[in-house]
Structure 1
Amino acid sequence: MTLDLDKAVNLFLNEKECFSADKTVKYYRENLRYFFEYLQREYGKSTHDMTIDEIKHTDYNFYVKELRTRKKLSGRGEGKDKLSSATVKYYADPVKFFFKWLYEQEYLEANISRKMKAVSRDKKILVPLFLDEIKSIDEHCNLKCSTGLRNYIMIHLMLDCGLRISETYNLKIQDVYFDKGFLHIKDSKHNKDRIVPLPSHLKSIMYKYIYLYRKHCDNDYVLQNISGDHYTYEGAKNVVRRIRLKTGIDRMKNHLFRHTFATSYVLCGGDVASLAVLLGHSDIGITNGYLHLANTYKLMGKDNFYKVDRVYLKRLNDTLVT
């Protein structure tokens, strides 16, 4: 007996809920829903009335084609720019994985996922931040008030420690070891923990913020909003957006700070294997891309990129070696 799409996706998500993080389950649930909504428009019937055998690899192909024609959403509705290849891939990959899972679980006789071509990312060089740009960014973080300190800490946790933006606002006070000089990053991507050394200049500013400026409240997260509540992704994203507008650095996005850290680490002599540990990469092939980028920047003859402090770099290497 063949499965309808509703039952199939419930079986798939039930397994994910047993073995994956909540955000991973949410990722699959939302993106499969988008694909199913597309199928309902195309077939004119509900997913309860569609069986998994009815779906062909061509449905996936036409779905990807439609995604490539969609426009980005802005705060005022649909924008002018089309979705990037990375965003299209974000939406399409769960569909391919779902049908691969159906075949592996023997719900499908044919492995149609083999005919579903993976969406390639745009291979563009992302230029890291320059010293003068970092100076301009820092000037828009008032270190004499709580919000300015918070914004500075959030940015420099990405810029000087290589944290993801989600790791900055989910960092808890008990996971900052001021006496030892490191951060314990917990439950990050792929449910991995890791230890990240904390630079001295950032340690002193974080200590000042937590014990002199941060409001005493029930939650124990380092970063908080003006009401004392746990800081959120939307809040962090808005800070980056406002600073981008004020500084005029158009290419500034959340990931650029972490990207700058990684490139700086390699430019200053750090090795790729250690960088993979610091960034929490499960595939060193991803980290190898920074070696290529660092060599490209050297060929450009640029010596004013933001660089990891050499004393801090030595401490990083000593920590990772020992």
Structure 2
Amino acid sequence: MGLANATIQQRLVPVRLFYDFLMEEGLRESNPVARGRYTPGRRAGASHQRGLLPRLTKLPWIPGEQQWLRILEVARREPVRNRVMLALAYDAALRREELCSLRTDDVDPAHRTLRIRAETTKNRLERVVPYSASTGVLLSGYLAHRATVSRARGSLFLSESRRNHAQPLSLWTWSKVVRRIALTSGVERFSTHTTRHLSLTDLARMGWEVHAIASFAGHRHTDSTLQYIHLSGRDLADKLSRGMEHSHAWRIQALTAASDDAEVSR
């Protein structure tokens, strides 16, 4: 298999910087690893420089219905800590770092919300997100179990291995848990970020506005949110159908009203 487009783009960066250095030292007159440049609104025929490699943007992968059921079947056999982590990752569309960095005082059981601290987020934006009632029941069970591991406040999710007993659960340990679930279920593309993609897509399917989804996800710009939302062709067809039905009904209603007015005028 060849390298992914994003991987090649990353590997080109040090090569490009090396040639930049050679140019600064006067050893070369140009950089063969071109940067793409584009100025919006330029007239036709204006100079335009393409990058050495076109940048491809692919839709994020999310599991289908049967794949998700296989993942859930395996997840049901996991310890309560892992089950509640999966539930929160989906409910609140959490990144891996945000999930593993949760602390006991970030949880508000009375209002069923989580505080995602700015220092744990990708773009340093703090936010408060809700979680469902069913996840709340699972979380309550985990908190009772956590008290048997450690009663100290601090990291919400703790390691229960003999080597790191009662220590904060690491990112790598959580990645291993998710990888094990992926392999056992036969859905090998399932990763720690899949639940976030799936959650945001489901919100879009439920009709949430993109700005509300962006706020929920902790994105500064809706452009980032749109990359996460993966509506299938069937979803888009359903939206188009509903939109057309609404437009059709409105036009027919307007046409009928116009006919009634014409009858009255006679």
Match of 1:73 in 2: none
Change in Cα spacing, 1:210 to 1:286, as seen in structure 2 (3 Å) is same
**TM-score, with structure 1 as normaliser:** 0.56
Q: Which of 133, 141, 145 pairs up with 2:67? A: 133
State how far apart, in whole Å, the 2-side matches of 1:297 and 1:127 are: 16
Partner SS for 2:114: strand
Higher helix residue share: 1
Identify unmatched segments of 5+ residues in structure 2: 37-50, 239-266
CA drift at 1:93: 5.7
Whichever of the two has the greater Rg, that structure is 2
Match of 1:62 in 2: none
Matches within 5 A, 1:137-216: 137-142=71-76, 148-186=79-117, 187=119, 188-214=121-147, 215-216=149-150
Say whether 1:116 aligns with 2:35. yes
Partner SS for 1:189: coil
Match of 1:86 in 2: 6
CA drift at 1:225: 1.7
State how far apart, in whole Å, the 2-side matches of 1:228 and 1:150 are: 13
Say whether 1:247 aligns with 2:161. no
Match of 1:288 in 2: 226
**Count of residue pairs the alignment pairs up:** 212
Identity %: 23
Greater RCO (Cα-Cα under 8 Å, separation 6 or more): 2
State how far apart, in whole Å, the 2-side matches of 1:200 and 1:94 are: 49
Identify unmatched segments of 5+ residues in structure 1: 1-80, 302-322
Amino acid of the residue matched to residue 87 of structure 1? T
CA drift at 1:195: 0.9
Partner SS for 1:273: helix
Partner SS for 1:282: coil
Change in Cα spacing, 1:180 to 1:96, as seen in structure 2 (3 Å) is farther
Change in Cα spacing, 1:130 to 1:282, as seen in structure 2 (3 Å) is same
Amino acid of the residue matched to residue 167 of structure 1? E
State how far apart, in whole Å, the 1-side matches of 2:224 and 2:205 are: 17
Partner SS for 2:79: helix
State how far apart, in whole Å, the 1-side matches of 2:211 and 2:13 are: 27
CA contact (8 A) 1:138 1:152 kept: no
Change in Cα spacing, 1:209 to 1:296, as seen in structure 2 (3 Å) is same
CA drift at 1:222: 1.4
CA contact (8 A) 1:244 1:250 kept: yes
CA contact (8 A) 1:262 1:290 kept: yes
Cα RMSD for the two superposed structures: 3.4
